[in-house]
Each structure stands twice: as C-alpha cells, then as structure tokens.
Structure 1
Amino acid sequence: MTETQKSATLTLNGENYELPIFSPTAGPDVVDIRKLYAQAGVFTYDPGFTSTASCDSTITYIDRDKGELLHRGYPIDQLASKSHYLEVCYLLLYGELPTAAQLEDFETRVTRHTMVHEQMHNFFRGFRRDAHPMATLVGVVGAMSAFYHDSLDVTDPWQREVAAVRLIAKLPTIAAMAYKYSIGQPFVYPRNDLDYAANFLHMCFSVPAEEYHVNPILSRAMDRILTLHADHEQNASTSTVRLASSSGANPFACIAAGIACLWGPAHGGANQACQEMLKE
C-alpha cells in the first residue's frame, strides 16, 4: 500500500484528528487508525472485521460482489485451468510463478516429505474410531511440533519455510490416515511416483489386498478443489493462525489453531453441512 495525499478528518469532542489514507494495489482505500487511541483515547468498534484490514498483504484479493479471487494478481480461473495445486502453493509462498527448474525442485521437496514419523501411527490409535476427522487433525497437526524440532521458530524465515513445506507435504497423509482410521482400514503409505492429488486419493481409497488405479479425471478434479481452497484472504482461520503466531507460537501449533477454527459450522464446517444436505 502507498500513502496518498488524501486524509480523513475525525471530529471528536470539538477536536479534529487527521487520519492518513492508503491506496492498495487492489480494493478500496483504507484509513490508517493506528495512532487514533494514542491521540484521541478512543477505539474503533468493528465486530468480525467487516470494515477492517488487519495487515498489509499481497497474497490474495477477494471481491465477493464481483466473484473475483486473485492469487498474487492471477485470477483463480486461469490458475485452475492452466496450473496445478503445487504450482499455486509456490506462487502463494514466494510471490511469483516458478520456472521449470524451481517447480521441479519444489515438487521434489514436497514429495520427499510426504511420509510422517512412524511413531505418529501410535498417536492415531489414541482416538476413538468415531472421532470427528477435524478433531483428529487438530491433535495430530499440533503434535507435529513434538517431532520436527528444527522448524519451530516462527521468527526464523528458513524454519518457517521448512515448516510450510512439511505441512503441505504431510497434511494429505495425515488427512488420509484420519479417514482410514475412522473406517477401520490400514494406513496407506504415500507414493512418490504419484502427483499430489493422485497420491492423496490413493492413500484414501486403496487397500493392500488389491491394486488401485487413480482415476485421472477425479485426480484433476481434486487438484482443482485444492487450488480453489488454497487461500481465501482474511477469513476466520487465517486470522486465527495470525493471532496465534503473534505470540511466537510454533508454525504447527498455529496451523492446528487454524484447523480448529475451520472446524466451525460458520466456516469450513459449512462444507460438511452441504454434503449432509446433498445426502438427504
């Protein structure tokens, strides 16, 4: 955002307070109120952040009225049709689309980290079989901080990057394990010869007793679903992760907090409600 020559004047108890106005690269102008309490002794009241931006970000822009979703300036329809999920992950993390060499390196790093620590298998067995999968995800993702001690410092850019790659790589494995555990089937290890979406489907639906071939149409559909859900700006779970990380908590604990928020029926839980409605 850049500061403009414009400003807003707030009159309070006969006193005028000049508030700077910033212009973002996309979206409406914003009024900077950071010094308002110090100068005027008042707070603003905006439940739900309906008119408040909590940070300066160039990652995602959403205009709900126009049905517009941009990742780093790229329209989501272009990314969904011409790209794939891991390429979009790279775009969100690093700010630009990768070269062929950069994409190959990133895909290799993700693929080589899809397995979880073997002791985490025992952790799953502490849950009831009928536990909600989000409850399992909250517990297991939070427990990653007990296994990967070299990427816990949220203030270290390199450790944050390592944690991000590990989370992207291992969350499909953990989600598939949660599903398999709930239906009483054995865990399926990830396969490095499959792409990201196909590997997730294979871990969810294959069994040791027979060969399983991932339907390429379903794999592509899953990849697009992941792409469409990759980032949704300042939503509830994103705000939760940012709030948790502001205390210096490790990345795995912060993401676990975000998953707990996503569980809510007014957020990600709405998807579950839609599925149940369709079944009915």
Structure 2
Amino acid sequence: MRETVRLKNTGLRGVTVADSAISFIDGEKGILIYRGYRIEDLVAYSTFMETSYLLLFGTLPTPEQLDSFTQQVKAMRTLPGHVIDSMRLWPKNARPMDILQASVPLLSMTKDREEGDEPDRRICLECSIGLIARLPSLVAVWHRIRTGQPILEPDPNLDHAANFLWMLQGKKPDTATAGDLDICLILHADHTFNASTFAAREVVSTRASLYAGVSAALGALSGNLHGGANTKVMEMLIKLENEPDIEQWVAGQLRRGDRLMGMGHAIYKTGDPRVAFLKTMGKRLEKQTVTKWAAISERIEKAALALFAEQGKTTILPNVDFASAPVYHLMGIPTDLMTPVFAISRVAGWCAHIIEEQFADAQGKPALYRPQAQYVGEYCGPMGCEYVPMKTR
C-alpha cells in the first residue's frame, strides 16, 4: 500500500497562475489599482464608462474616444426580441442570478459580429461592449417581467447607472443617487483573480467564446462566498432590524462557529479600500429615509471586531459586501438583485480578463488551464484494481 500525504485545500490562494496587467491588490496596505490607477482617483474623477474603457483598452480615453464608447454602449442596450420572449416563459420565482446566467448564451446566438473558431480581438471588444450594455437591461427586464410590470425601453439621454435604475424602477433617479450607483460600479469593476474572474479565464483558455467565459463567471459569482454574500448581508441586517441585543446575537453566531456574512477577505488584511466610500455613501443615502442600517451595521462591526481581537484575529475586517448591501437597499434595489448588480459592474473586468487570456502572446494562443490533482482514492497497484463481475460480487 502506497503512502499518500494529503494536500491541504488552499483554494489556490497565494499561487500565481498567470501574468496580468489589468488590476493589482496589495492586501497588506489596502491598495486596489486598475491599469495603474488607484481606485481612490477613479472614484474621485472617473465614471463607470471611462473605467470600463480603461479596463478593456488599457488606457484612459480621449474625450472623443469616451464619447464614441459611450454611444456604442447606449446603442446596444435594447435586448433582442427572442431573449425577452424566452424570459417571459421562465418561472417567475427563479433566482435572478440563474436568469442572468441563462440569458448570456441567448445573447450569444445573435451576436452583432459572429465569432469564428479563432479569437479576434476587435470582435471580442465589440462583444464586450454589448455585454456591458445589455447586462443591466437583462436584470431590469427580468424584474419587470417577474413583477408583472411593463418593460421599459432604455433612455438614450440617461447615463449607464441612471438608465438601469429607470428601467428597473420606472422613474428617473435623482442625480445624486445615480452618481452613487455609478461609483458603486467603479468599485466593483475588477478585483484581480477572484473566483469568477478565474472561472472566466479558465473557460476561455480552451478557446471557448467570450460569452461562455462570462456565463461561467456569473455561475461563480452567484455563490454565497463570492458575489452572493451581499444578499446574505442584507438578509442579516433585515433580520436584526428589531433585535434589541445585536452584540449578543453576534457573539452567539461566532460562538457556534457560524459565518458572519460580510466580515473577512481572502486578500485584504488591513482593510478593503472600497469600504470607506460605501460607508460614506450609505450614511448620505440614509439621511433621506427613516431606516437605521448604518447604525445596525456599525454595531455588528464593533461587536465582531472586539470578539475577533480577543481571539487574535485582527485581520478579519468588513468587506465590500458588508458595506454595499445597505447602499443598494437604500437605492431601492431588491435584495435578490444585489448580486446581479455586482455582475453589471464586474462584466467589464471579466471581459478585460477574457481578452487578455485569449491574446496572452503575440500569436493569440492562450495556455490551456490544466491543474493537477493528487489521487487519494482506491489504489491496488499501478495497473489498477481487479474488476469483479456483477454476478460474483
């Protein structure tokens, strides 16, 4: 019998698998950079359209380039008729992330430019612009269908974030709220080799289409340990809205070994730089309502950090999901649409990574991902086990 030392499942954390020029994280210093630019500067000076251009093309656009890019996005917001017809047939209680993932292959059936067997950078960029344009429409149209409301046409006079809120809610958002959502989209646009981005890159390394890569990324994002966490955070806040002793509830969660959604991050050890912007945004939005999400969140955070400190776990801090959930809620976005809103933003990063993966070298030949597993199953020698026929078992 052979001796097998079992490997620890680390989820590939700390394992470098490819070069990338798209984004960078310094988890010890709390730094996030897109294409060389600090997230703080992009939030202060950029827009989601400009940030999307930066991620896809690698440089900041000129005014003319940004205008052309924005007009391309606006022109592609309308969904093909067969997509809407299909959505009308789907169960109204289906999970929105499942709807979104199922819709992307439908878009691939009527691409504006047909992808060939060999990847073409120009066509991939055009398809990317189409997905950035249409994912918000998919989310909004599905919500209108499932709630029995008339579908609204995109408004070419509205920018990306404002148009999504219009198509979703049926009313034009105020400038401040639309601006806040645009910042949220910038903050979520890319985050190096997270689970969904890695899924997209792995899939297209087989020379599958950009649409296949984005569909795979959506599947990965839907999980509660990735994009689905913001929904779970909001469910937790709603549950605790009338809880008199939040601190005791937090202590009970941690004592039982249950996960406290929105706390901790695989990379950031001294703080997620996106959280501060979202907290400020949440407090500003809350002034317009009578809710108390900021206060509840603050009590959860303080209680959790105190207990973590007692255990010596000083690197477990609030993450972007903890801070973004109440912001989306205050914008009137339904809880189960919070992860799809994450996808509306992250699709820009996914497409940038897919294109980078497809054209990893001058010949456009991606390295097929093929990791190796250590076999720990039955072992009867190098020739395998003896097969015993059914009648003699």
TM-score bucket (shorter structure): 0.7 to 0.9
Q: Which moved more, 1:122-131 or 1:85-94?
A: 122-131
1:179 to 130, 143, 155: 143
Please list the CA deviations of residues 53-110 of structure 1 after superposition, one character each: whole Å capped at 9, or x if unmatched.
2211111001223221000111101101111000000111111111111111111111
1:221 to 180, 192, 216: 180
Please list the CA deviations of residues 217-257 of structure 1 after superposition, one character each: whole Å capped at 9, or x if unmatched.
11011101100000010000000001111111111121011
Structure-2 change in CA distance of 1:269 and 1:75 (3 Å): same
Superposed displacement of residue 45, structure 1: 7.8
TM normalised by structure 1 equals 0.79
TM normalised by structure 2 equals 0.57
Q: State whether structure 2 residue 91 is matched by structure 1 residue 128.
A: yes
Please list the CA deviations of residues 91-147 of structure 1 after superposition, one character each: whole Å capped at 9, or x if unmatched.
111111111111111111111111111121111012111111001001001211112
Q: Which moved more, 1:153-162 or 1:246-255?
A: 153-162
Q: Is the 8 A contact 1:46 1:52 kept in 2?
A: no
Q: Distance in 2 between matches of 1:140 and 1:213?
A: 26
Matches within 5 A, 1:3-82: 47-82=10-45
Q: Is the 8 A contact 1:151 1:163 kept in 2?
A: no
Which residue is 2:189 aligned to? 230
1:250 aligned partner, one-letter code: S
Q: Distance in 2 between matches of 1:178 and 1:233?
A: 29
Max Rg structure = 2
Q: Distance in 2 between matches of 1:81 and 1:140?
A: 34
Pairwise CA RMSD:
1.6
1:147 to 110, 117, 128: 110
Structure 2 gaps of 5+ residues are: 1-6, 240-393
| Greater RCO, 1 or 2 (C-alpha within 8 Å, sep 6+) | 2
1:56 aligned partner, one-letter code: D
Which residue is 1:205 aligned to? 169
Q: State whether structure 2 residue 129 is matched by structure 1 residue 162.
A: no
Superposed displacement of residue 150, structure 1: 2.3
Superposed displacement of residue 46, structure 1: 7.0
1:252 aligned partner, one-letter code: Y
Q: How many residues align?
A: 232
Q: Is the 8 A contact 1:151 1:160 kept in 2?
A: no
Q: Is the 8 A contact 1:110 1:166 kept in 2?
A: yes
Q: Distance in 1 between matches of 2:102 and 2:193?
A: 24
2:165 aligned partner, one-letter code: L
2:101 to 124, 135, 138: 138
Q: Distance in 2 between matches of 1:146 and 1:196?
A: 24
Q: Distance in 2 between matches of 1:243 and 1:55?
A: 11
1:182 aligned partner, one-letter code: R
Q: Distance in 2 between matches of 1:74 and 1:109?
A: 24
Q: Distance in 2 between matches of 1:175 and 1:245?
A: 24
Matches within 5 A, 1:86-101: 86-101=49-64
DSSP-derived class of the 1:249 partner: coil
1:193 to 138, 143, 157: 157
Q: Distance in 2 between matches of 1:144 and 1:183?
A: 23
More helix by share: 2
1:276 aligned partner, one-letter code: E
Q: Is the 8 A contact 1:198 1:219 kept in 2?
A: yes
Matches within 5 A, 1:242-261: 242-261=201-220
Q: Distance in 2 between matches of 1:152 and 1:53?
A: 30
DSSP-derived class of the 2:182 partner: helix
Q: Is the 8 A contact 2:48 2:185 kept in 1?
A: yes
Identity %: 34
